[in-house]
Amino acid sequence: MSEEINENEHEEELTNLENQEEILDNDNDSVETITKVTGMYKEWFLDYASYVILERAVPSLEDGLKPVQRRIMHSMKDLDDGRYNKVANIVGHTMQYHPHGDASIADAMVQIGQKELLIDMQGNWGNILTGDRAAASRYIEARLSKFALDVVFNPKTTDWKMSYDGRRKEPIDLPVKFPLLLAQGAEGIAVGLSTKILPHNFIELIDASIKYLKGRSFKILPDFLTGGIADFTNYNDGKRGGKVRVRAKISQLDKKTLVINEIPFSTTTVSLIDSILKANDKGKIKIKKIEDNTAAKVEILVHLPPNVSPDKSIDALYAFTNCETSISPLACTIENNKPVFVGVSEMLKHSTDLTVNLLKKELEIQLNELEEQWHFSSLERIFIENRIYRDIEEEETWEGVIKAIDLGLQPYIKNLKRAITEEDIARLTEIRIKKISKFDIDKAKQFIEGLEDKIGVVKEYLANLIEYAVNYFKRLKETYGKGKERKTEIRIFDDIVASKVAMNNAKLYVNRIEGFIGTSLKRDEFVTDCSDIDDIIVFRKDGKMTVTKVDSKTFVGKDIIYVAVFKKKDKRTVYNFMYRDGARGPSYMKRFNVTAVTRDKEYDLTNGNKGSLVHYFTANLNGEAEVVTINLRSVGSVKKLKWDIDFADLHVKGRAVKGNLITKYSIKSVDFKSEGVSTLKPRKIWFDDSVQRLNVDERGELLGDFRAEDKLLIITQSGKAKAVKPNLAMHFEDDIIVLEKWKSNKPISAIYFDGEKERYYVKRFLMETTEKEEVFISEHPKSQLEIVATDYRPIAEIQYSKRSLENQEVNFEEFIAVKGIKAQGNQLTTEKIKQVSLLESLPFEEKQKEIPEEIEVINEVVIEDKLPIEVPKTLTEKPISEELSAAEKAKIALQKSIAKKKAEEKKRDDENQTKLF
């Protein structure tokens, strides 16, 4: 109650104070007015928001500059005398136009300078790569670049307004004749509004402007000074809702070291390294140490611990660190004092149209000046040549002088382009006697004719304004385009699944009897290393299966027979499965894979009858099919108690199928007998050049069918070759020139230039070791690979630099024998070679290998299969060639006899089993 009274008293006091309009100050007899502040927010918020949007945060569509940037450029033009000025001096001069502090002006100037377009810098202006700040403004200097002087300023085409204090004039917009906003980019946050326009490439903007002027379509994409790789698939023309993915450029220095040479836009080497260290601390990636050798260029060395895949580490860096960032552009600019949202294509069109209009204005001004100059030169010539100046000798008044000159000019003015004004006559009276005395009629005629030629040229430009604008843009490209080539590589990214690249930062344990799995069960059985974002697949003795996320401790059911990390969409892993249906039912067998499941849902792999149990289970990572022995219980009239079954006789089907019947009798045990080979068909692998990755989704170029033992041959322009097992996570160098299925007996032929001996050599070699990268040309810095061929019998044509030398054909097979990869090879020539090209190779018949029957992986289909197990086919008999030796014939005959006996035994067993059933 007391609190309410106090509050009411306080409110009454405030009300009385607000109603009181005047208070007498006894000290100085002054009257103060008290204004309520409650309405200020409502009345002034919109004004404040408008001010921030228009005067601080968002750039103008006309010149691409924010007010502070425009005032900096105008001040630099005021101070420009060709020499460098202290930045502190420029900042102080800018404060005459900009009603804010010097720190904001200095920061804005540094940002303009770091974009390397408008300002010629001297001193330490900071580093966009490392994030280092610029030195104090009193220590660094600047002047306008030649590009800025050429493109940004023209007082004759500039509209002016008074500065904030009314003492000076400043430009409303600078007459920029270039898409400056797109070249520099812009970023700002206002009240309730923001903008983020990404920078674009200087040369590409000019090319796009030329295409637009010629009526052709164009497309522009961002380009960043930090380089890197970018995917602009969802750029959306820079509008709201677009997205750009930017990655660092990471390459493999060796098996234990990765090197980052370019970083993503909006990051620095410091922030990038910090993100890598944090990911390492969380266990997402594994690194040994990081070295930052960045100077003029980025060089970050990431050292990996032993037994860590470099390819997987690169993907992990993209997935868990700032090595990949996502940028959401938002193209917002100011047009006619209002914020507008337009795409970058519209911005370029507007800028190009504005450039054409400015060029037209400049030409019109130039034409007017030339015509005025021609007019007065013609008047001057008439005035002096006809000695009209003598007519004013007797005049005593100014009006009389003007009238006398006007009368004297009248007979000669019929060819003038406009009427004579009093100002023209006044200018004639200002001609000095010295100029009249030295007047040369011929020179005057030549000068006037020269003006007429210039007027004709300007009129020609105006008549062909678009062509003139195109030539203007071409001149800009030719003059200032050097060194401004694209720095960011355009590429389409593949999506990286975090669970596939996450480093193993945990250990998985299992208590099979009690049915627990987890990372905290350290006293129980160790299963495997895993990641904290992995899913775990579990099979139980009762035929149930479940997939759950890894945790410290999870109950999944008692009697666990198998537990492992689950791989989604994995069609290569095949589970071989035998089970009893119910407590006393028949037994079945099947082969299946698990590609997709619902997490934490329990799946029954049997027919679902109570009392079902698993006789036999194996998980085969490459579809292997083993042979097992079935042992029946000796019950009743059962005669055959033991026989072998080969899983290779079963097709791989869905996990929900019933399976093939083994027997209706009780099985005592199932024993492993012998290992089998993979029954899956070779995996077709494609290479997608757009993303530089391997895939099995039929994207790109088909490389071939790959078995488990097959390898991929990779050769680069730098003279490196290796044969490795294909892995979908592999990364490839930018200079890769050969990517194909490797054949161990297929020689590699090459022509290379030895930088040390300055001669060309030819060599042929076989890959001696696999899974190891080797250099097959000399390691001298000037050595370079001219051409490489992987055909059996290639032919090359040599074109020499000397015209007197005829082209030479090189048959690699005849020129040199196959030698070791480290061999130097045979000398080809000491002459300079202009070009080496491959011709059509000579024919070669390759011996075909016998391939056993394969089983294709089929998609999951729920089919109830009750057919008996298929009988394996006997070996196909082949005729023995008469050309074989006696030993070879004997060996083949023995193999045939053994195969025949096995087939007969198999047939008898099958007949007995049929009788038994």
Q: Give the sign of the dihedral formed by CA 665, CA 670, CA 673, CA 678.
A: positive
What is the rounded distance in angstroms from the CA atom of residue 185 to the CA atom of residue 196? Answer: 8
Pair 475, 373: CB distance under 8 Å: no
Antiparallel, parallel or unpaired: β 587-592 and 652-653: parallel
What is the rounded distance in angstroms from the CA atom of residue 581 to the CA atom of residue 577? Answer: 12
Antiparallel, parallel or unpaired: β 667-674 and 141-144: unpaired
What is the rounded distance in angstroms from the CA atom of residue 179 to the CA atom of residue 64? Answer: 8
- Per the annotation, the verdict on 139 as an active-site residue is yes
Return the SS3 of 246: strand
For 126-149, give the secondary structure using H, E and C. Answer: CCCCCCCCCCCCCCCEEEECHHHH
Q: What is the identity of the amino acid at 494?
A: D
Pair 332, 193: CB distance under 8 Å: yes
What is the rounded distance in angstroms from the CA atom of residue 764 to the CA atom of residue 752? Answer: 11
What is the rounded distance in angstroms from the CA atom of residue 838 to the CA atom of residue 828? Answer: 16
Residues with Cβ within 8 Å of 626's Cβ and at least 6 positions away in sequence, in order, are 576, 618, 620, 646, 647, 672, 673, 674, 675, 676
What is the rounded distance in angstroms from the CA atom of residue 523 to the CA atom of residue 404? Answer: 122
What is the rounded distance in angstroms from the CA atom of residue 307 to the CA atom of residue 323? Answer: 22
- Which among 139, 235, 579, 752 is annotated as catalytic? 139
Q: Give the sign of the dihedral formed by CA 500, CA 506, CA 510, CA 515.
A: negative
Q: How far is CA 745 from CA 141, 149, 790, 848, in A?
A: 66, 66, 11, 13
- The per-residue DSSP string of 21-90 comes to -EEE-TTT--EEE---STTHHHHHHHHHHHHHIIIIIS-BTTTS--HHHHHHHHHHHHH-SSS-EEHHHH
b/e code 741-751 from CB counts within 10 Å (16+ = b):
bbbeebbbbbb
Question: Could you tell me which of 102, 77, 104, 80 has the C-alpha nearest to residue 91?
Answer: 102
Q: What tokens appear for 443 in the block?
A: 């020179």
Residue found by looking up tokens 């691409």 in the block: 64
What is the rounded distance in angstroms from the CA atom of residue 185 to the CA atom of residue 178? Answer: 13
Q: How far is CA 504 from CA 274, 307, 501, in A?
A: 21, 12, 9
Pair 773, 832: CB distance under 8 Å: no
Q: What is the rounded end-to-end Cα distance, in angstroms, of the chain?
A: 96
Question: Could you tell me which of 377, 401, 381 has the C-alpha nearest to residue 391?
Answer: 401
What is the rounded distance in angstroms from the CA atom of residue 191 to the CA atom of residue 197? Answer: 18
Phi, psi of 796 (to 5 degrees): -125, 150
What is the rounded distance in angstroms from the CA atom of residue 558 to the CA atom of residue 623? Answer: 28
Q: What tokens appear for 277 in the block?
A: 């260290």
CB atoms near residue 634 (< 10 Å): 9
Return the SS3 of 337: coil
Question: Could you tell me which of 149, 203, 143 has the C-alpha nearest to residue 179?
Answer: 203
Q: Provide the annotated active-site residues.
A: 139
